Amino acid sequence: MEPWAIVLIILGGLILLIFFCCIRIVPQAHEYVVEFLGKYRRTLSAGAHMLVPFCERISQKITLMEQILDAPPQPVITKDNVTMQIDSVVYYRVFDSKLYAYGAVNPVSALENLTATTLRNIVGELDLDGTLTSRDVINAKMTSIIDKATDEWGIRVTRVELKNIIPPKEIRDAMEKQMKAERDRRETLLQAEGHKAAAVTRAQGDKEAAILQAEGERDARIARAEGEAREIFLKKKAEADGYKALIEAGITPEVLELKRYETLMKVADGQASKVIIPTDVVESTRKNVLFSETTGLGETTPQGSHIEAKPEEDPCCERFEKKK
């Protein structure tokens, strides 16, 4: 083979090698910063790109995805001179690769220090209780301040969260005692409210039971009275119907009186030694002359023989007579 052919083959191979070495493929959500002879030239986005051989180079490869900066716990002094350890987490992403590459020597370290100083400034304006109960306020203030300060670095802070707040041991013990006392107070209050509610419910139940019992007794008395009245009414009605039937059958009141006296005589035939005749019966008997003559019951005293009683001898007189 001719020497010049060999030279051509070597040159062609070198050209192909240089061509493939100058091709750069940028993955998704990434950007490459390109410098031309040491000076910023352009920013390569996702896709395939060709660099100028021996003149352009990639200075930095930057990711555009959201990143997390977990800052270590920082000693922070509150307004009431309480030193506590606070651990924060910063969520950020790069929105400008050029500013991120040339805005700060180490943007991540700068962001970490800025987070620590901002946290100290904000917590220094609050007391212990305000720090423990104002996490949302602290997060919002830190996000606003840090995001505004990092615009020159090409960094956008999406949010800042306080990961942990660790007060001193003495403060934690006092807080636990306070929490226990508060829980005891709530327990006592709840028990008192429970007893009160139970007493009110019991009293209300007793009241309703007494009312129902009184109403029941009233209804029972009314029912008994109505029953007795109904019974008396039915008895009188039956008697009236009986008398009416007898009168309609032609029986006179004198015959009825006679039947009543016959009943009394039957009663007198028993073991009873006395027969009590009501006043109205006696009056009726006296008025009923015919019945009195028939039965002989109109006389108040029975007729009998009169026997003269012998005078009793006085023993005293007999004794005096013997002495004489």
- Measured CA to CA, the distance from residue 290 to residue 209 in angstroms comes to 67
Per the CB < 8 A criterion, the answer to whether 32 and 56 are in contact is no
For residue 32, what pLDDT is reported? Answer: 92
Of 13-22, 92-101, 198-207, least confident by mean pLDDT is 13-22
Are residue 94 and residue 157 in the same domain, yes or no?
Answer: yes
Q: What is the DSSP letter of 53?
A: T
Are residue 163 and residue 82 in the same domain, yes or no?
Answer: yes
- The residues with which 40 forms a beta bridge, in sequence order, are 35
3-state secondary structure of 260: helix
- Measured CA to CA, the distance from residue 272 to residue 206 in angstroms comes to 57
For the chain, what is the domain count? Answer: 2
Residue 246 falls inside a structural domain:
no
Please write the tens of the pLDDT for every residue from 99-149: 999 988 899 999 999 999 999 999 988 888 888 888 899 999 999 999 999
- Per-residue tokens: 70: 């977990």
Are residue 54 and residue 73 in the same domain, yes or no?
Answer: no
Per the CB < 8 A criterion, the answer to whether 125 and 79 are in contact is yes
Please work out, in degrees rounded to the nearest 5, the angle formed at the alpha carbon of residue 131 by the alpha carbons of 171 and 125: 115
Residue 306 has pLDDT above 50, yes or no: no
Q: How many residues are recorded in the chain?
A: 324
- Measured CA to CA, the distance from residue 98 to residue 170 in angstroms comes to 49
Q: Which domain holds residue 88?
A: 67-167
Are residue 103 and residue 138 in the same domain, yes or no?
Answer: yes
For range 50-64, the mean pLDDT: 87
Residue 252 has pLDDT above 80, yes or no: no
For range 152-175, the mean pLDDT: 87
Interior/surface letters 302-311, b for 16+ CB within 10 angstroms, e for the rest: eeeeeeeeee
CATH number of the domain where residue 129 is located: 3.30.479.30
Q: What is the DSSP letter of 135?
A: H
